[in-house]
């Protein structure tokens, strides 16, 4: 059975692989159309080229970039507004274009915390995606952005408290708050073990992040078994404003 088509929306190149790489690979392997919209960085940058490599590994379409600047890296999009500073309506409209063009069954994005780190770009991506998910179906909103389309469900990539406790005071988040949700808030717990090699390869394709010692670099330093232990499960919260019956889990 072909899995539902999936459009993931994340803040930075590498977020897609870290947060949803297993689900992206799983859906692509099952014959589904998959694509990723990235809010920041320009197409001409090294990070965008690495993103293209990661998406090929995951079996997704090529990069779709909104072109805003990373809140902490001005050179990510010289001359462009920081994503967190751009007019909200403008950012929502840009994303609506991609939703209406791709016409996904499922949209995936950051949770309201912006994941474990609470990065401001992640939080803002959650806000913009939540609004665009609703706006894409309304024919009188952004009429020049394409024909209306309503995805069936929105999934928020998240981490339960139990995982945050297991991660503990790791090298990644030492002396920093980790943002997680109660375990019972998780709608879908997905075993992505069969696609773990693709997921890890996609993470490591973000070579500049590996080299500078960001999260992909820390993961690269771990033994393969430890990497697999940390990355073989993905967690999601389903938000379906149109549901009238029991919540379905189609991830």
Q: Is residue 81 a part of any domain in this protein?
A: yes
Confidence of residue 243 (pLDDT cuts 50, 70, 90): low
**Predicted confidence (pLDDT) per residue in 121-163, tens digit:** 999 999 999 999 999 999 999 999 999 999 999 999 999 999 9
- State the residue range of the domain holding 178: 6-239
Paired tokens of 187:
């709608």
Domain-embedded: residue 247? no
Rounded CA separation 189/191 (Å): 7
The CATH code of the domain that includes 113 is 3.40.50.10320
How sure is the predictor about 244, in pLDDT bands with cuts at 50, 70 and 90? very low
pLDDT of 167: 79
Where does residue 194 fall: left (phi above 0), alpha (psi -120 to 50 degrees), or beta otherwise?
A: alpha
Buried b (16+ CB within 10 A) or exposed e, 211-241: eeeebbbbbbeeeeeebeeebbbbbbbbbee
Report the number of distinct structural domains present in the chain: 1
167 or 233, higher pLDDT:
233
pLDDT band at residue 245 under the 50/70/90 scheme? very low
pLDDT of res. 176: 72
pLDDT score of 3 more than 80: yes
Task: Give, rounded to a whole angstrom, the gap between the first and last alpha carbons of the chain.
Answer: 13
**For residue 104, is pLDDT > 50?**
yes
The helix or strand, by DSSP H or E, that contains position 54, with its residue range, turns out to be helix 46-58
Considering the domain boundaries, does residue 251 fall inside one? no
Tokens of 182: 């109660």
In a domain, 244, yes or no: no
Identify whether 87 is part of a domain. Answer: yes
248 in any annotated domain: no
At 165 the pLDDT is: 87
Section 85-107 average pLDDT? 98
Closest by alpha carbon to 154, among 238, 94, 236?
Answer: 238
Instruction: Decide: 249 and 187 in contact? Cβ < 8 Å.
Output: yes
When comparing pLDDT for 251 and 19, which is higher?
19
Average pLDDT of the chain? Answer: 93
Is residue 41 in a domain? yes
Across 116-135, b (16+ Cβ under 10 Å) vs e yields bbebbbbbbbbbbbbbbbbb
């Amino acid at each position: 059975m072909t899995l539902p088509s999936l459009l993931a929306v994340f803040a930075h190149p590498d977020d897609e692989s870290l947060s949803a790489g297993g689900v992206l690979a799983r859906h692509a392997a099952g014959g589904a159309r998959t694509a990723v919209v990235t809010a920041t960085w320009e197409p001409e940058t090294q990070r965008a080229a690495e993103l293209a490599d990661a998406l090929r590994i995951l079996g997704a379409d090529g990069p779709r970039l909104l072109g805003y600047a990373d809140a902490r890296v001005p050179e990510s999009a010289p001359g462009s507004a920081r994503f967190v500073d751009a007019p909200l309506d403008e950012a929502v409209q840009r994303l609506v274009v991609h939703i209406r063009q791709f016409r996904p069954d499922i949209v995936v994005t950051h949770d309201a915390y912006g994941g474990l780190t609470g990065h401001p770009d992640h939080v803002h991506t959650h806000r913009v995606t939540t609004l665009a998910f609703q706006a894409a179906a309304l024919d009188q909103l952004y009429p020049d952005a394409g024909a209306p389309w309503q995805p069936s469900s929105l999934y928020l990539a998240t981490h339960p408290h139990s995982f945050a406790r297991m991660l503990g005071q790791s090298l990644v988040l030492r002396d920093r708050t980790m943002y997680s949700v109660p375990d019972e808030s998780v709608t879908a717990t997905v075993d992505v073990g069969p696609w773990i090699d693709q997921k890890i390869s996609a993470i490591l394709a973000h070579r500049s992040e590996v080299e500078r010692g960001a999260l992909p670099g820390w993961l690269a330093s771990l033994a393969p078994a430890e990497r697999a232990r940390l990355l073989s499960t993905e967690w999601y919260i389903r938000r379906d404003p149109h549901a009238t019956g029991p919540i379905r889990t189609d991830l």
